[in-house]
Structure 1
């Protein structure tokens, strides 16, 4: 996908394991381990513990496309995907299933920063490389390949703080209570608001769901009708905007947006009706899964990280360029033919992945 997004066919994710095979081959022994054969082909497992958003579908779809390219080169042979709405215990079972499938590496979008440590250690004992995406974990057995979620949230928080000014009052619509990405985001945003003198009148959770985001925003506005702005995470901004539309307050309350086509369509319409309308959309690229695939393949090939590549156990990916009023027309033109659920996307190239290694 790179810098030029292309149309994706988002595949429906079954609640269970999906096996993509290159050819008929024997089932590998449990605990494949990249260290035994650095030439491959490698079997890659994926543990995805939440399927309640189109973002996760795009995450898997882009990974499948990139995997197919490595497959044609003979670098990989199977992609085993464990994908379902599960709690921490369910994700532990997902990872154990992958271990027993004999994968060489696991790409995990974790439901907790710490609660999976024991099963990560079990995988590491089998010489399985583990890479976490979307949110970081603390386990020393895992390499995080992520954007900085706190920094991600601070970008739109800074925009909103400038819009409402010192002493401004806002409400916040956040993701899933206790989820590691949500906690990192809200920590980053809260620090911005505190330093800017912005008061957070109320904060509630809408599970990264547009319809829930609309309802939660309506409820918060009913209790706090005089707020100056709304901080809302991606996956819910269109819903929050629709709540403002229903209240007739789109031109009165500043709202952070999202780099998704549905919201960007509304943004474009508002710009035609009111040239003074302003918003911001910080991309949270689902194709971080592809960046992780590039990295973990090189780990399996026994390449060593460059001395300054990691911050602890984390490789921080660049946050894509923010969608602003100034660059909106150009950025929207790249994606306007995509479905409303499509997120502006980005991943590092194989050559850029090489730069993280010696």
Structure 2
């Protein structure tokens, strides 16, 4: 009787373990996955291209039976508004949320609540400090350092420059400006005459640059973030200056075409652009799908100040030497098009075990 009881208890235990194993396999979401997108800023064509890239990649996943239509919440909102976007997506019972964040830390509580509700969260384009989230972005600080180093070296380490930043307080803007300041610390011969914000808006970039030209007649160099450099260059050309300052610009079609025009008028004009790929949103989508499939990131993949970031490659740089090739790449594209890059499936797989 004792032996039978022991065997019975063992059988019950084995059955229980088997049920636990089945439950563990079934506890995660199963495809097709529903993925939400929270985009809190629509004042930039870059964001439009980002969302378009995400839709294209998601369409391929839909054909494989891996995802449904993206649930996109996109509007100009403050941090509180983006928190509401995230909460709304959780209520829509999405399996994952991809966020382009308006704040580095202001969304942390909403991200934590989403993850506790069983929703995976990936932040793209900019890093958030929430430990529950995984960031998928280029290294924004390094992005800025590349062009600032070029500007400093092209000026021979000395001269007067102006800086046109994006939205003050925005995570990407702050990371970029930190990179700029780190480079400038190595070049004491460069004097910064003025630092202004033009909110990643071409019209504001032109307005700010016009004001700077009027205030500072001795500008040797301009460092501008993307989304504003075309406006700044238009202001410089409209001023009919005897010479143009050296300019760190952008890898956007409109700027590249204006760069070529500027060189026809000013053959000695020098410029440079670093690609900031809108495809980072689609790269984040590729990472999200693999996370929802239950795949685990390799040790050492997560980097950055918060140790929760996958840095995807900066896909290209444009110099005077490569401007012709860049112009060929943008043939037939609108001026708002940005030279782009999305990680391949092989690159995405390489982040995981």
Q: Is the TM value for this pair above 0.5? A: yes
1:140 aligned onto 2:131: yes
Query: Helix, strand or coil: the match of 2:129?
Result: coil
Structure 1 CA distance for aligned equivalents of residues 169 and 114 of structure 2: 25
Q: TM-score, normalised to structure 2's length?
A: 0.89
Runs of 5+ consecutive residues of structure 2 not aligned to the other structure: 1-24
Task: Report the aligned-residue RMSD.
Answer: 1.4
Report deviation, 1:84: 0.3
1:160-182 C-alpha deviation (Å, 9 max, x unpaired): 11122333111111100111110
> Alignment partner for residue 150 of structure 1, among 141, 146, 163?
141
Whether 1:206 and 2:185 are equivalent positions in the alignment is no
Task: Name the structure with the higher helix share.
Answer: 2
Quote the residue 2:241 is aligned against. 249
Query: Does 1:317 pair with 2:312?
Result: yes
Deviation digits for residues 113-154 of structure 1, max 9, x if unmatched? 001111001101011110001110100010000001010011
Decide which of 49, 53, 59 is 2:50's aligned counterpart: 59
Secondary structure of 1:214's aligned partner: helix
What is residue 15 of structure 1 aligned with on the other side? none
Q: CA deviation at 1:268?
A: 1.9
Q: Does 1:300 align with 2:292?
A: yes
Indicate the SS of the match to 2:121.
Answer: strand
TM-score (norm 1): 0.88
- Matches of residues 67-216 of structure 1 in structure 2 within 5 Å? 67-197=58-188, 198-216=190-208
Distance in 2 between residues matched to 1:36 and 1:207, nearest whole Å: 44
Measure, in 2, the Cα distance between the counterparts of 1:255 and 1:249: 14
Asked which structure has the greater CA Rg, the reply is: 2
Shift of 1:321: 1.7
Indicate if the aligned counterparts of 1:35 and 1:127 stay in contact, CA closer than 8 A.
Answer: no
Once residues 196 and 344 of structure 1 are traced to their aligned partners in structure 2, the CA distance between those partners, rounded to angstroms, is 30
Q: Return the alpha-carbon distance in structure 2 between the equivalents of residues 127 and 250 of structure 1.
A: 61
Query: What is the aligned length?
Result: 325
Q: Which runs of 4+ in 1 moved over 4 A?
A: none
Q: Which stretch of structure 1 is more off in the superposition, 247-256 or 154-163? A: 247-256
Question: How big is each residue's C-alpha offset from its partner over 1:308-344, in whole Å with a ceiling of 9 and x where there is no partner?
Answer: 2111111001111201112221222111220000000
